[in-house]
Amino acid sequence: MTFARTGLAPLFVGAVGVLGLLVGSFLTVVVHRVPAGRSIVRPRSACPSCGSPIRPRDNIPIVSWLLLRGRCRDCSAAVSSRYPRVEAATGLLFAMLATARGFSAVLPALLYAAAAGVALVLIDMSHHRLPDVIVLPSYLALAALLALAGCLTGDFPLARTALSGGVWLGVYGLIWLTTLGRGMGLGDVKVSGLLGLLLGWLGWGPSLVGLFAGFVVGSAVGVVLLASGRAGRRTKIAHGPFMFAGAAVAVFAGEPLSHVWLALSCPLPTGCVS
C-alpha cells in the first residue's frame, strides 16, 4: 500500500525520516564502539576530550550539533561533522524507502537492513571489517521481520528467498575460495547471504540486479581510483560498500532494471522461448 495520492504521504515519510535521524544518532555510537570491542549500551556517550557525559538536549540529531556550532558544551573541543552527516544520511535513506515502498509490510525489514548497512559500510571503509556482531544477528532479525511481512500479507516466498541467499553465498564464496581471500573477505561472504535473502524476498529481478550491480559499482570505482592515482593494483579496497550500493539499486529500481535487461536480452515479441 502506498500513500502517494493521499494527504498522509508527507506525514508518513516525515515520520519515517525522523526515525531515521534517531537511528542514525545511535549508529554513530555503533560505528565508534563496535570496532573497538566496546559495549554500545554502556557507558553513556561522552566527549572524548573532557569526558563530560553528553546531555540529552545536546543529543538531538543534527539540531544539537548546529546549535553548539560543532563544539562540546563543556570544553569547546571540536565535534566531528561525521555525526550529523551520518544522522542526515540515515534519515534521508529511511525517507526514500518510505517514499518508494509506502506503508508496506516489508518496509520494517528494509529499514533494518538500511540501518545495519550504514553501520557496516562505515566500519568497512574505516577498518576493512564487517563485524560478525552486526552481521550474524541480522540474519535472525531479517528472518523475523520477513516472516512478519509474510504473516501480514499471506505471501511467503520461502523457496525463492532461500535460493536467492544460496546464489549470493555461492557466488561470493566461490570468489573467496578461488582467490584465497585476497579478492574477497570472509565478511563479504557472510553479508552476501544476508542481502541475497532480503532481495530474494522482493523478487528474482531485484536479487540478480543487486548481485550484478555490486560488482559493476565496485569495478567502476576501482577504475576511477586507479586512473586518478589514488589507488594501485595492490591497494586493498573495501567491497562491502559496493555490495550495499548494489542492493540499494535493486531495492529502488531492481524490477524495472531487470525488465530492461530481459528486453535487451530477449528482443523478440514472444520472448526468448519460441
Distance of CA 34 to the CA centre of its chain: 17
Average pLDDT, the chain: 90
Distance of CA 66 to the CA centre of its chain: 26
pLDDT confidence of residue 76: 87
How far lies 266's CA from each of 157, 182, 203, 216, 261, in Å? 26, 37, 19, 22, 8
Q: Average the pLDDT over each of 136-140, 179-183, 195-199, 226-230 and give the range with the smallest value.
A: 179-183
Q: Average the pLDDT over each of 5-9, 22-26, 107-111 and give the range with the smallest value.
A: 5-9
- As a whole number of angstroms, the distance between CA 87 and CA 243 comes to 21
Per-residue burial over 40-60, b if 16 or more Cβ lie within 10 Å, else e, is: eeeeebebeeeeeebeeebbe
User: Which grid cell is 227?
Assistant: 586512473
Question: Is the per-residue pLDDT at 156 higher than 70?
Answer: yes
Residues contacting residue 65 through CB under 8 Å, at least 6 positions apart? 79, 81, 83, 84
pLDDT confidence of residue 142: 97
Question: Is the per-residue pLDDT at 270 higher than 90?
Answer: no
Average pLDDT estimate for 8-17: 91
- As a whole number of angstroms, the distance between CA 158 and CA 143 comes to 10
Q: What is the pTM of this model?
A: 0.90
**How would residue 273 be classed by pLDDT, with cut points 50, 70 and 90?**
very low
Quick count: other Cβ atoms within 10 Å of Cβ 61? Answer: 22
Comparison of pLDDT for 222 and 199, the residue scoring more: 199
Going 40 to 43 to 44 to 46, the CA torsion angle's sign is: negative
- As a whole number of angstroms, the distance between CA 166 and CA 85 comes to 35
In this predicted model, what pLDDT tens digit does every residue of 158-181 receive, in sequence order? 999 999 999 999 999 999 998 876
Average pLDDT estimate for 36-42: 90
**How would residue 272 be classed by pLDDT, with cut points 50, 70 and 90?**
low
CA angle in degrees (0–180, nearest 5) for 212-218-223: 125
DSSP-derived letter for residue 155 is -
In this predicted model, what pLDDT tens digit does every residue of 91-147 receive, in sequence order? 999 999 999 999 899 999 999 999 999 999 999 999 999 999 999 999 999 999 999
**How would residue 192 be classed by pLDDT, with cut points 50, 70 and 90?**
very high
E strand or H helix at 42: none
In this predicted model, what pLDDT tens digit does every residue of 51-105 receive, in sequence order? 788 888 888 999 999 998 889 888 888 989 999 999 999 999 999 999 999 989 9
**How would residue 2 be classed by pLDDT, with cut points 50, 70 and 90?**
very low
pLDDT confidence of residue 227: 86
Q: What is the SS3 assignment for 71?
A: strand
**How would residue 6 be classed by pLDDT, with cut points 50, 70 and 90?**
low
Q: Which long-range contacts (CB under 8 A, 24 or more apart) does 45-54 make?
A: 47/72, 47/74, 47/75, 47/77, 47/79, 48/77, 49/75, 49/77, 50/74, 50/75, 50/77
